[in-house]
Chains A and B, each alone.
Chain A
Amino acid sequence: MLKTLFTGLSLLLVTLPVSAALNVFACEPEWASLMQELGSDKVKVFSATTAQQDPHRIQARPSLIAKMRRADLIVCTGAELETGWLPVLLRRAANPKIQPGQPGYFEAAQYVTLLDKPERIDRAEGDIHAAGDPHIHLNPHNISRITSALTNILALLDPENTIYYTHQRDDFLNRWQRAITGWEKQAAPLRGLRIVSQHKSWIYLIDWLGMKEVTRLEPKPGIPPSTTYLTQVLTTLQQQPARAVLITPYQNPQASEWLHSRIAIPVVELPYTVGGDTDATTLFGLFDSTITKLLAVTEQ
């Protein structure tokens, strides 16, 4: 143990002045936050999006191309979440290190079980993802799986700091596992909680906490609801009541507010990702805040 620590320390001392930090381009804030946990000062993390932006629809901005040009590693969700912008950035940045197939190209969705894989791939079904739903980070067990895979990549790209990354991983997973146990205990009253989603953003959270999605406001994924459709939702909810409508910080609250004005169903804006509210400054804060806000619904 002491020897490992010593080797680790000496490696640190040797490598610190010479090796520059690894440049990481994270497509979404949750991966930026995870990278920060794992890499700390060994990485320089940039998040391409914020919690206030719809990750399906991001402009392939010049600033993102410039950032990607210098990236050593890109960490994205995959499962077609970023198909509308990532391919353009990859091509225009023409950075050989982060092209698909290279170690510097990391898709988190490849390491977890994707839910809701569509049986019928047809655009008439809306904006569907052939591989399955991409909002994977909302089940903390998925974060654990991705953490291990990501640490392996970090060790591959920056072998000198392998011991450091392994240590960071163990430390993070340790804290994370304890946090999960706490959340699961705390969230016990949420089992069976009946909710309405605006978009199909919550299926991993629903699956993890055992909640029940009564209906969704979008008639098809990515298609905003019309008034006619909302009236149907209203009828459904009158027959099968739900406790809250869940929305993300980047979604338009109009439809949910309309519903709220009719049947006084509370509209709950969950942080969705890191930076989604004032408490969600880290991945830990994200789940703390999410569960607190959901528990508040059950207490009403």
Chain B
Amino acid sequence: MKTFVITCMLYAATSITALQPVQAAEQSDIDLLRQEVDALKTQVNASQATTSTQSAFNPAISLILMGRYANFDNDPENYALPGVTLAEETDPGKEGLSLAETELIISGNIDDKFFGRFTTALTPENEIEIEEALVQTLALPAGLGLQFGRFYSEIGYLNKIHAHYWDFVDQPLVYRAYLANQYNDDGLQLRWLAPTDLFLELGGEAFSGESFPASRPANESVGSYSLFAKLGGDVGVSHSWQAGISYLATQAENRETEEGNVVFGGDDNMIIADLVWKWAPGGNDAQTSLVFQTEYISSNEQGDYTITGNGTNPVDRTNDGWYAQLIYKFQPRWRGGLRYDRLSIEDPGSAFSGTSLDTQGHTPERVSVMFDYSHSEYSRLRLQYNRDESYAVADNQWYLQYIMSLGAHGAHRF
């Protein structure tokens, strides 16, 4: 306001001066005054800009609305992956119209040293789940970064990607079977970024080990830990890639799953390899892009399974599986995608025949095709078809999904 008054006064001054007979010397004074007025205007505008450029909201708040219509040939109640026990909320979901999780994300810089993010999921059953409540350091020296709170583990590629940013309605079978879709837990993460042009990041995490596949033994303070390494770079201006390898060690005591009568105790350790390759002509992915993504997970279970009516029997087996997908953006707002999933589950032996751990000699497979349309960066509609051979009876699954985001613009990871 004060500056505005000064500006007005200066304007008045210039116009009064202009009324008098103008000498050449006075002309330069007028120019000087004009310059000052311009400078003041710039200052006023700059001060206004400073308050609004950082972030329109502080903290940034965004709300993600998701829902869908689903149609299956088989009854989703019968869904199974023979040979493994599924964690809760990992099946294909309800048929018909339903709400998916509604995500509320609040994030921002806490101060110049810390960043915080809170992600909560409101389930269609009206429950509230805290998915993330994390703090990240911004100012540690030497490329070090510390993160603590509850967060998605950095293992694999898809593990820490939020549901609203998935390329398909559902997670790949390897994530469904071995990580209950995504592994998040309360813990601590330390990362180091190498000072090289080639992106190299190394890190490790320690978790309390409360969520599937972990189930912390009462006498342990750290239930699970992980190690990860990521490498990435560009090839020319049109290609970029990232590859990773990670290890997750979990311990379980009385690990219950959806089927309450199957309980695991022991160690479940995993190795994950991932690769993402993105191509966009000239690096301009606003127009066209092609993304190839693949991950392999190997899970080693050592311990014993207790099954009601079947007693306790030891297991030592390695299950693995992989998926590969291709997403093609053929128009600025249209994308098409193809995904193939496959699991190999080791039969735990005759002691388990007839139980849900019996693989029945089946190899789960799935092929998915999707198309999505994004009217803007904030809205997306998707049609997906799965030919799902998770168990012996093949299923045709159709999904029509919407993902809408309100509020702050979410910046996304590679």
Number of residue pairs A-B, CB distance < 8 angstroms: 159
Q: Does B74 contact A (CB under 8 A)?
A: no
- Complex contact A91–B138 (CB within 8 A): yes
- Complex contact A100–B377 (CB within 8 A): no
Q: Shortest distance in angstroms between B64's beta carbon and chain A's nearest beta carbon?
A: 14
Q: Does A37 contact B (CB under 8 A)?
A: no
Q: Does B159 contact A (CB under 8 A)?
A: no
Contacts of B2-46 to chain A: CB distance below 8 A:
41-42, 45-46
- Complex contact B52–A131 (CB within 8 A): yes
Contacts of B29-88 to chain A: CB distance below 8 A:
41-42, 45-46, 49-50, 52-54, 56
Contacts of A83 in B (CB 8 A): 409, 411
Contacts of A57 in B (CB 8 A): 285-286
- B137: contacting residue among A65, A86, A94, A121, CB under 8 A: A94
Contacts of A50 in B (CB 8 A): 237, 282-283
Contacts of B195 in A (CB 8 A): 69-70
- Complex contact B143–A224 (CB within 8 A): no
Q: Quick check: which of A28-36, A110-118, A177-185, A233-241 contacts chain B, the rest being far away? A: A110-118
Please encode chain A, from 97 to 118, with 1 for each CB lying within 8 Å of some chain B CB and 0 for all others: 0011110000101111110000
- Complex contact A62–B230 (CB within 8 A): yes
Contacts of B376 in A (CB 8 A): 123, 126-127, 222-223
Q: Shortest distance in angstroms between B277's beta carbon and chain A's nearest beta carbon?
A: 12
Contacts of A110 in B (CB 8 A): 46, 49-50, 53
Residue of B nearest to A67 (CB): B197
- Complex contact B138–A96 (CB within 8 A): yes
CA distance A111 to B233 in the complex (A): 34
Listed residue (A50, A56, A102, A131) with the most chain B CB atoms within 10 angstroms of its CB: A131
- A130: contacting residue among B52, B278, B375, CB under 8 A: B52
Contacts of A94 in B (CB 8 A): 136-140, 143-145, 191, 193
- B240: contacting residue among A63, A85, A131, CB under 8 A: A63
CA distance A66 to B199 in the complex (A): 5
Q: Does A175 contact B (CB under 8 A)?
A: no
Query: How many chain B residues touch A (Cβ–Cβ < 8 Å)?
Result: 60
Measured as residues with beta carbon below 8 angstroms from the partner, the interface class of chain A is 35 or more
Q: Does A88 contact B (CB under 8 A)?
A: yes
Contacts of A132 in B (CB 8 A): 49
Q: Shortest distance in angstroms between B290's beta carbon and chain A's nearest beta carbon?
A: 13
- Complex contact A131–B414 (CB within 8 A): no
Contacts of A66 in B (CB 8 A): 193-194, 196-200, 232-233
Q: Does A59 contact B (CB under 8 A)?
A: yes
Given the contacts A66-B199, A67-B197, A84-B377, A52 and B141 also touching, CB distance less than 8 Å: no
4 A-B pairs with the lowest CB-CB distances in the bound complex, closest first = A62-B232, A62-B199, A96-B139, A54-B286
Listed by A's residue number, 12 A-B pairs whose Cβ atoms lie within 8 Å are A52-B284, A61-B240, A63-B233, A66-B198, A88-B412, A90-B138, A91-B115, A100-B54, A112-B42, A127-B376, A131-B49, A224-B332
B: residues with CB less than 8 A from A are: 41-42, 45-46, 49-50, 52-54, 56, 109, 112, 115, 136-141, 143-145, 191, 193-200, 230-234, 237, 240-242, 278, 280, 282-287, 332-333, 375-378, 406, 409, 411-414
